[in-house]
Amino acid sequence: MRRIVLTAFVLFVGALGPAILTAAADPAAVINNLGNRALEVLGKNATPAQRVARFHELFREDFDVPGIARFVLGRYWKTATPEQQDEFTRLFEDYIAIVYSSQLSAYTGETLKVTGSRADPEGAIVASEIIRPSGAPPVKVEWHLADQHGTYKIRDVAVDGISMAVTQRSEFASVIQRNGGQVQGLIAMLREKTGSASGR
Amino acid sequence: MNLRPLCLVFSNLALLSTVILSGCATPPNNAQPEATEAEDFNDPFEDANRAIFDFNQVVDRNVLVPVAKAYRTVLPDAVRDSLRDFLRNLREPIIFANNALQGDFDHAGQTFARFTLNSTLGVGGLIDVAGRWGQLPYYEQDLGLTFGVWGIPEGPYLVVPVLGPSDPRDLIGQVGEGFGDPFNRLVTGNPYTLYWIPFVRGGVSGIDQRSRYIETLADIERTSLDYYATIRSLYRQRRAALIRHEKEQNLPPPASFSRNDGPVPSVKPPQAAMASEAQTISEVAR
């Protein structure tokens, strides 16, 4: 499923390109623009480390990273110390960058078409479809954006009705529970996962 | 909401019967938002489920994946697609029944048209004529979804040996479909009594499906901190989304996407407790 989400990042903007860059206040434009940015992440001959770095940048600029980090930690956010919250947010960002940038490499020419957008108490929801070159039925992807002082930041991605943020939160909660309710257990696992995968 | 007779029908299935019955005893969900539903683990049998999950992983690694890879390597794409279309065509009568049971007559008509076209022009279903040239794509349905559309709760999350993630609602649905399937009834009834055919059909269908998700599942497993928990969440959210989608389809057409007065689902699930405190933490299963 994550693979499908990743392909969602990679979209074909075609003629829209530069015109849309100026319209950052339009939530649909944010998603359209994301596709160009994702193709930049892939780049030509980019090394895995370069891809991770570029994804970091994209994630920080287009996503509400602090909001997402808080959400995926759920009720354990409040039980964590400020130091743990900081470290968790940092590790979470690393984790997402490593996971998603490596999976973006599996890109096989999928295109993403924005099919509509609607307002929402938090900001906006942009609906899109991933068109697959294989001719398989398109995958529906909904982007949930938060309006932060006039700029839109992505807060969640729902693929065929499955929320990536809810999935992540459920997994993290399970890890914490199995570590005796300690956030530190999750932090240790994230350290290990990001440390080994990035070769540090 | 009358589940008890159904439960009794299956109660003599020694395996899992207690689990199923306790699931049926679960009171209906009192209209909680979906977000809370997805948030809760809903997994009172987690220790047993994790043990079965681990067992399934061993079977998956050593049997299913190697066979699925061989299947993918040996058979050309066209042959595999044709086989998949044939197996799908065998399911159309059951899908038709589910469409009708859900009151979704548009799809019932489409399913009927597909089955008729593909069984004849499509040479017994080997070619998906209706999907390829008739603008009538395959549309999956099952009895578990029908129960969900009727408002029957899912019951506790279950991991079934070999079959994988499920819940009492879906498991009963699967068993019910197995017995009710017209094709299965035909080949196992007089004068054929070929009891092995439904098993072969199920096996091939399982391998075909597994072969289409080899990389996806491997990716998720590799990047997960807790693969079991991720699969549990994905399964439950997916089933809930399908049921929601079916229910929405039976309503009048929704407001246009670009308008601001459309139905607004909650983006941010309430900060309700994720799992009950009573849930015991286990260090055993892993």
For chain B, give the percent of residues with pLDDT over 70: 74
Q: What type of residue is B266?
A: S
pLDDT at A18 over 90: no
Task: State the smallest CA–CA distance between residue A127 and chain B in angstroms.
Answer: 8
pTM: 0.78
Chain A, 45 to 84: residues with Cβ < 8 Å from chain B are 71, 74-75
Residue B214 lies in a domain: yes
Pick from B57, B59, B46, B56: which is nearest to B285 by CA? B46
A132 vs A153: CA distance, rounded Å: 26
Interface test with B, best of A72, A114, A171 (most B CBs within 10 A): A171
Look at B279 and A117 and tell me if their CB atoms are within 8 Å: no
pLDDT at res. A25 = 67
Query: For residue B272, is pLDDT > 60?
Result: no
Range of the domain at B148: 4-23+54-278
Q: Is residue B30 part of a domain?
A: no
**What percent of chain A is predicted at pLDDT more than 90?**
49
Average pLDDT, rounded, for chain B: 79
pLDDT score of A48: 84
Would you say residue B8 lies in a domain? yes
User: Among A49, A144, A142, which Cα is nearest to A94's?
Assistant: A49
CB contact under 8 A, B257 and A156: no
**Contact assignment for A175 to B244 by CB distance below 8 Å:** no
Q: Which residues of A touch B228 (CB under 8 A)?
A: 174
- Owner of token pair 């399964």: B235
DSSP A13: -
Would B150 be classed as within a structural domain? Answer: yes
Q: Give the tens place of pLDDT for each residue, A157-187.
A: 999 999 999 999 999 999 999 999 999 999 9
Average pLDDT value over all residues in chain A: 83
Number of domains forming the structure of chain B: 1
Q: Which residue has the higher pLDDT, A13 or B156?
A: B156
Residue B47 domain flag = no
Per-residue three-class SS string for chain B? CCCHHHHHHHCCCCCCHHHHHHHHCCCCCCCCCHHHHHHCCCCCCHHHHHHHHHHHHHHHHHHHHHHHHHHHHHCCHHHHHHHHHHHHHHHHHHHHHHHHHCCCHHHHHHHHHHHHHHHHCCCCCCCCHHHHHCCCCCCCCCHHHHHHHCCCCCCCCEEECCCEEECHHHHHHHHHHHHHCHHHHHHHCCCCCCCHHHHHHHHHHHHHHHHCCHHHHHHHHHHCCCHHHHHHHHHHHHHHHHHHHHHHHCCCCCCCCCCCCCCCCCCCCCCCCCCCCCCCCCCCCC
Q: Given this model, what pLDDT does residue B151 score?
A: 96
pLDDT of residue B17: 36
Of B237, B273, B286, the CB nearest to A162: B237
B265 CA to chain A: closest CA distance, Å? 8
Cis amide leading into B198 (omega within 30): no
CATH superfamily of this structure's domain A2-194: Tgt2/MlaC (3.10.450.710)
Long-range contacts of B50-57 (CB under 8 A, 24+ apart): B50/B159, B50/B228, B50/B282, B50/B285, B50/B286, B51/B285, B52/B159, B52/B160, B52/B161, B53/B159, B53/B228, B53/B231, B54/B285, B54/B286, B55/B161, B56/B159, B56/B161, B56/B162, B56/B164
3-state class (DSSP) for residue A139: strand
Chain A neighbors of B269, CB-CB under 8 A: 166
Phi-psi map region of B26: left, alpha, beta (phi>0 left; psi -120 to 50 alpha): beta
* pLDDT value for B278: 26
Using a CB-CB distance cutoff of 8 angstroms, which residues of chain A are in contact with residue B220?
1-2
Residue B58 has pLDDT above 70, yes or no: yes
pLDDT tens figures, B236-253: 999 999 999 888 877 655
Judged against a pLDDT cut of 80, whether residue B26 lies above it is answered with no
Residue B166 — pLDDT band, cuts 50, 70, 90?
Answer: very high
Pick from A38-47, A74-83, B151-160, B179-188: least confident? A38-47
Q: Tell whether the model's pLDDT for residue B39 goes beyond 90.
A: no
- Weakest-pLDDT range from B3-12, B39-48, B156-165, B188-197: B3-12
A17: pLDDT strictly greater than 50? no
Q: Which of B234, B264, B279 sits opposite A1 (nearest CB)?
A: B234
Which of A98, A177, A192 to mutate against chain B (most B CBs within 10 Å)?
A177
Tokens of B252: 């009048």
What is the phi-psi region of residue A191: left when phi exceeds 0, alpha when psi lies from -120 to 50, beta otherwise? alpha
Q: What is the mean pLDDT of residues B68-96?
A: 96
What average pLDDT score do residues B179-203 get?
92
C-alpha A128 chain-centroid distance: 15
What's the token pair of residue B224? 């997960």
DSSP H helical ranges for chain A: 2-9, 17-21, 27-42, 48-62, 65-73, 76-79, 82-104, 164-178, 183-198
Q: What is the mean pLDDT of residues B3-20?
A: 35
Radius of gyration of the CA atoms of chain A, in A? 17
Q: B274, B276, B283, B284: which to substitute to probe chain A, counting the most A Cβ within 10 Å?
A: B274
3-class state of residue A123 by DSSP? strand
Q: Are B86 and B127 in contact (CB under 8 A)?
A: no
pLDDT band (50, 70, 90) for residue A199: very low
C-alpha span between B148 and B37 (Å, rounded): 14
- Is the pLDDT at A9 greater than 80? The verdict is no
* Residue B109 resides in a domain: yes
For the cut 70, the answer to whether the pLDDT of residue B273 exceeds it is no
pLDDT reported for residue B249: 77
Reported ipTM: the value is: 0.83
Tokens of B53: 């999950």
Q: A122 and B282: CB-CB below 8 Å? A: no
Q: Is the pLDDT of residue A2 over 70?
A: no
Amino acid identity, position B1: M
pLDDT of residue B97: 97
Q: Assign A24 to helix, strand or coil.
A: coil
Exposed, middle or buried: residue B226 (CB in 10 Å: 0-12, 13-18, 19+)? buried
The per-residue pLDDT for A41 is 75
Helix H or strand E encompassing A162? strand A162-163
Q: State yes or no: pLDDT of B263 exceeds 80.
A: no
Q: Average pLDDT for residues A188-192, to the nearest whole number? A: 95
Contact call for B233 and A167, based on CB within 8 A: yes
Residue in B closest to A5 by C-alpha = B216
Q: Report the pLDDT value the prediction gives residue B87, as an integer from 0 to 100.
A: 97
CB A193 within 8 A of CB B225: yes
- pLDDT of B38 reads 39
The two tokens of residue A117 are 């957008």
Note the pLDDT tens digit of each residue in A70-127: 999 999 999 999 999 999 999 999 999 988 887 777 777 888 889 999 998 989 999 9
For B160-190, b/e burial (b = at least 16 CB within 10 A) is beeebbbbbbbbbbbbbbeeebebbeebbee
**What residues in A contact B219, CB-CB < 8 Å?**
2-3, 103, 106
pLDDT of residue A3: 58
Rounded Cα distance, B146 and B100, in Å: 10
Q: Which of A65, A69, A84 is nearest to A183 (CA)?
A: A84
Selection from A79-83, B2-6, B266-270 with the highest mean pLDDT = A79-83
Question: Is B268–A173 a contact, with Cβ atoms under 8 angstroms apart?
Answer: no
Min Cα distance A125 → chain B (Å) is: 9
Instruction: Give the confidence band of B50 by pLDDT, cuts at 50, 70, 90.
Output: very high
